[in-house]
Amino acid sequence: MTTTVIAGVGICPFGRRLSASHRELGSAAAREALRDAGIRFSDVDQTFVASVGGGAAKAQNIAMSLGAARGAPIVSVEAGCGSSGSALHLGKLLIESGAAQCVLCVGAEKTPAGYVEAGYETWQEESGLAVNPAYFALEAVEFMAATGTTEADLAEVSVKNHRHGALNPNATYRSAVTREEVLASTAVCDPLRLLMLCSPVDGAAAAVLMSQEAARRHGVTGPVTLLAVSVVSRIPTDGFVPMASRIIDGRTSFAERAAHMAFEEAGVGPADLDLVECQDVDSSAELRAYSYLGLCAPGNEAALLRSGATALGGSQPVNPSGGLLSKGEPLGASGLGQVHELVTQVRGRAEARQVQAARIGMAHVFGAGHTASGVIVSA
């Protein structure tokens, strides 16, 4: 089977970029990825643009500013926060089927303040239940009761990730915080406080995928092998409930299943990972990901955090980029932002936040309770 490599990556730093349009954000990240791969847009066989907002023809609008593409297909992909993973999944399938040699995947987002459009039922919006932090808090309470995790542990996730994010020039929030500052920040939904929640922001990231043969032909330097991309979706039977770890009828959660499928496809296991980027939409979400990804047994999540293993300098750093708590979350672009970090790390170019001897990394996202994705790369 054809091997897929990541030939280039690009990013438009995350944040509130009020003067930049959706097209400007996406095309900036795409141009950087094309330069990194050493190719022109006319070399691309197909483009996927992952975005939750952006309106009609968003993919075409971004592509128009990149130059001629020989009529190659340009397709929009939307799967909530799983949009980027879905775009990568499609790109990898095209290359490994032989239908394409070079695919550009772009994630771009302009997130309006007070964003609500996330698949809720009308009755939920009208009754005031269309607020994600409320659901995150319910899940945090359930998790804490089951595992003995404390509010101090939730605070320490934020402390860790903001410490990492202070080293990342692409992050929205680049200041370290203390446990006391986190616990004293505004209460949003008990037990979650403001500094335990990510912020929806603007931003973009991109990756150029190639077959190994095409990468050799184009003289790509530093290609990174895309070992696996898994995508798992579920159809809710009781309306929209954005709780990624919800287990129905004793079955494994779809977020955990996405991780297991990625490991199976890649032929590696949790112990092989040198770093992880996961979707810390709130502090408890990162802790839950520890057991989803097999970094520890269920119930030992807080102990793993307290050990220092998931911090820079530890045995398996999680979110060395700063995660969503520090970077912010540009919804459809967040997954490609994770991949940008993985590629930067395994190439040894992460500077102050570099994970020593990083060779294999994993990104994991879940999108609004419906779609989860796992991505594994190797130097």
DSSP structure class, residue 351: G
Strands 46-50 and 102-109, sheet pairing:
parallel
CB 66 within 8 A of CB 34: yes
The C-alpha angle 183, 189, 195, rounded to 5 degrees, equals: 40
189 catalytic, yes or no? Answer: no
Residue 108: strand, helix, or coil: strand
DSSP structure class, residue 350: -
User: HSE of 327 in the Cβ direction (CA atoms, 13 Å)?
Assistant: 33
Tokens standing for residue 146: 């089951």
Q: Measured between alpha carbons, how far is 226 from 85 in angstroms, rounded to an integer?
A: 12
What's the first-to-final CA gap in the chain, in angstroms?
19
75, amino acid identity: V
Strands 46-50 and 187-189, sheet pairing:
unpaired
Q: Measured between alpha carbons, how far is 115 from 137 in angstroms, rounded to an integer?
A: 18
CB 338 within 8 A of CB 298: no
Q: Measured between alpha carbons, how far is 197 from 77 in angstroms, rounded to an integer?
A: 26
In this structure, the chain runs to a length of 379
> Per the residue annotation, which of 12, 81, 102, 198 is the catalytic one?
81
User: HSE of 366 in the Cβ direction (CA atoms, 13 Å)?
Assistant: 27
Q: Measured between alpha carbons, how far is 373 from 194 in angstroms, rounded to an integer?
A: 26
Q: Measured between alpha carbons, how far is 87 from 106 in angstroms, rounded to an integer?
A: 8
Distances (CA, A) of 353 to 105, 122, 162: 25, 44, 12
What angle separates helix 283-292 from helix 254-266, to the nearest 10 degrees?
50
CB 84 within 8 A of CB 76: no
Q: Which residues are catalytic?
A: 81
